[in-house]
């Protein structure tokens, strides 16, 4: 008579327990990596849409709209922000925008209750950015222009885009909209329209609000070069 080797119930339970422990240790990292790749993919689509829209605006107007940040001019020179209201209106017409909130974006349902530079509890690095008052929570919720795209992503401006506000060429994008986590450096990233050599491109904004453990806008831009 031949005896058949088999696992005992105890051995099976121990093996399943080990597998469960390993899975519990690795799954959070795998999920985080998958979420990061999903955000990267969404950003590539958003970047492509923004780039094509800017090209169309320049082609139609025959000039670069005066709504950009430039390292080559004085911060007191407001000429580079003189056409921000018109530029965002033009941008809206070339993007698939389903809802616009011209101020009071939180009250009107365009955006969730984002943190601002003054309400973020933990920053990546050693401390909060200096200045960046246009990304204070009250300004984001009650002053900024917000655009909801048909894919759910949200663009909101740094302060209101008018001649009375500086840095309106700076903006932020929530790449997955109201889904969450709605955290800077996770699904919210700030950018700027910057003029270099008579051309406007998206660059990382100077006001990089990055919550603890998050990424910088430059990391996303590297993936589309």
Name the helix (H) or strand (E) containing 145.
strand 145-149
Tell me which DSSP letter residue 78 carries: G
Q: Report the C-alpha gap between 162 and 172 in whole angstroms.
A: 17
Domain boundaries, the chain: 9-222
- pLDDT tens per residue, range 47-99: 888 888 888 888 888 877 788 766 555 555 556 777 787 888 888 888 889 99
Residue pair 192/68 in contact by the 8 Å Cβ criterion: yes
Higher per-residue pLDDT: 71 or 37: 37
92-116 residue pLDDT tens: 888 889 999 988 999 999 999 999 9
User: Which is more confident, 27 or 2?
Assistant: 27
State if pTM tops 0.75.
yes
CA nearest neighbour of 91 among 156, 166, 185? 156
Judged against a pLDDT cut of 70, whether residue 126 lies above it is answered with no
Nearest to 44 by CA among 158, 151, 181: 151
Which sign, positive or negative, has the C-alpha torsion 151, 157, 163, 167? negative
Q: Which of 66, 92, 218 is nearest to 155 (CA)?
A: 92
């Amino acid at each position: 008579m031949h005896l058949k080797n088999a696992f005992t119930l105890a051995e099976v339970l121990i093996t399943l327990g080990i597998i469960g422990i390993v899975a519990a240790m690795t799954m959070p990292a795998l999920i985080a990596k998958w979420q990061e790749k999903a955000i990267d993919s969404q950003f590539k689509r958003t970047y492509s849409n923004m780039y094509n829209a800017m090209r169309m605006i320049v082609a139609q107007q025959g000039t670069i709209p005066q709504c950009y940040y430039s390292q080559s001019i004085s911060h007191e020179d407001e000429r580079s922000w003189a056409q921000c209201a018109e530029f965002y209106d033009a941008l809206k017409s070339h993007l698939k925008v389903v809802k616009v909130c011209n101020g009071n974006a939180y009250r009107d349902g365009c955006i969730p209750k984002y943190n601002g530079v003054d309400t973020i509890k933990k920053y990546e690095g050693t401390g909060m950015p200096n200045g960046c008052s246009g990304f204070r929570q009250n300004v984001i919720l009650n002053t900024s222009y917000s655009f909801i795209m048909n894919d759910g992503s949200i663009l909101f401006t740094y302060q209101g885009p008018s001649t009375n506000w500086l840095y309106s060429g700076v903006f932020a994008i929530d790449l997955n909209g109201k889904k969450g986590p709605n955290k800077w450096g996770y699904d919210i990233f700030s950018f700027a329209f910057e003029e270099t050599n008579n051309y406007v491109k998206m660059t990382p904004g100077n006001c990089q609000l990055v919550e603890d453990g998050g990424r910088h806008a430059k990391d996303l831009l590297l993936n589309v070069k």
